[in-house]
Structure 1
Amino acid sequence: MPKPTKGPRLGGGPAHERLLLANLAAALFTHKSIKTTETKAKRLRPVAERLITFAKRGDLHARRRVLGVIGDKDVVHVLFTEIAPLVADREGGYTRITKVGNRKGDNAPMAVIELVLEPVTKKASPVKKSAAPKAEKAPAEEAPAEDAPVEEAASEEAPAQDAAVDEGAAADETPEAAAAEAPAEDAAEEKSE
């Protein structure tokens, strides 16, 4: 069970609090959503989530552990057969608490606690975000690869056109790469003269 609280209990004594939380959990599993005070909802959440975790295991021992807390076999059956399969892929956070204002009679803060039965949607991992810039670089790298068949075709036709294509390809590249290739081309021209 969850850690016992210090100070005043819900309803008076520890046994009464245990029964109160068990009844609230049974109502939550039956109706999927209940309206209660914020304090009771906050105290109910760990109890209900632990029972749902037992229901996800689904074995006989887990069923008997839940029956020890909630005495109603029909509620336990609903928990194991209907609720547990709906939250099977969820790692936790089976309940949601929503504050709904104060009660009219005694101005007690009220809340709705409900089961989260929607399917889990996986968030995009940070690795995929870093893969996106690589995808942007890939088309830039493909552009010179498209020029490569043109260079091969040009080299078959005439060697003079080959130099013109190389200068055009150098213009497509970054200025730093073009500056690095320029001295190499100048040195090649001087040797040929």
Structure 2
Amino acid sequence: MARDNATAAAALLDRQLDADALRDATEHVARPLAGQDSLVRTQAMFIFRLGAEWLGLATSYFDEVVEPRAIHALPHRREGVVRGLVNVSGQLTLCVALEQLFQLGVARPERRRQSLLGRRLVVLASQGHRTAFEADEVHGEHRFDPASLRAVPSTVAHSMANFTTAVLPWNDRVVGQLDAELLFHAINRRLG
């Protein structure tokens, strides 16, 4: 019985299609899918919070997100952007204070359970180098249509506006999209 089914299936798949059936099948496959345009234009950013500011960076720069851990201060580096070294997955990683770089206040808004993860150590990777920072709250990856990005309003603090390329409306909030190249350049400049 199984052999008869296999023979019948092979005969069905090996049959010749007539010209009309072949044309209909070609038209069906060539027809665009509903919503395909939005799939092509979809981008992703990793969303996190520093103080009261929600920020996002392209997901390609995120290496891992882990529980907060001890940060070991470096000699003669007690102030500024460099916080010290942190052990992440057995690798010593430079830890920076992005809130210092962006000159954000220390005001902490009321914590909402909207996020997937609370305070976390976020590890970025760029050109073979890893850098970590502490985020007050982590949402994670968010996909969006690039057409939904808006210009940075003039009300954004000047120091923050320097690093922000656009803003994204998200969950009744506004997320500042960070310029990754400028961010890493500013961090590297502070290391010297």
Q: Which protein has greater RCO, CA pairs closer than 8 Å, 6+ apart?
A: 2
TM-score over 0.5 for the pair: no
TM-score tier by shorter-chain length is under 0.3
Query: Which structure dedicates a bigger proportion of its chain to helix?
Result: 1
Q: Compare the two structures and name the one with the higher strand fraction.
A: 2
TM-score normalized with structure 1 length:
0.21
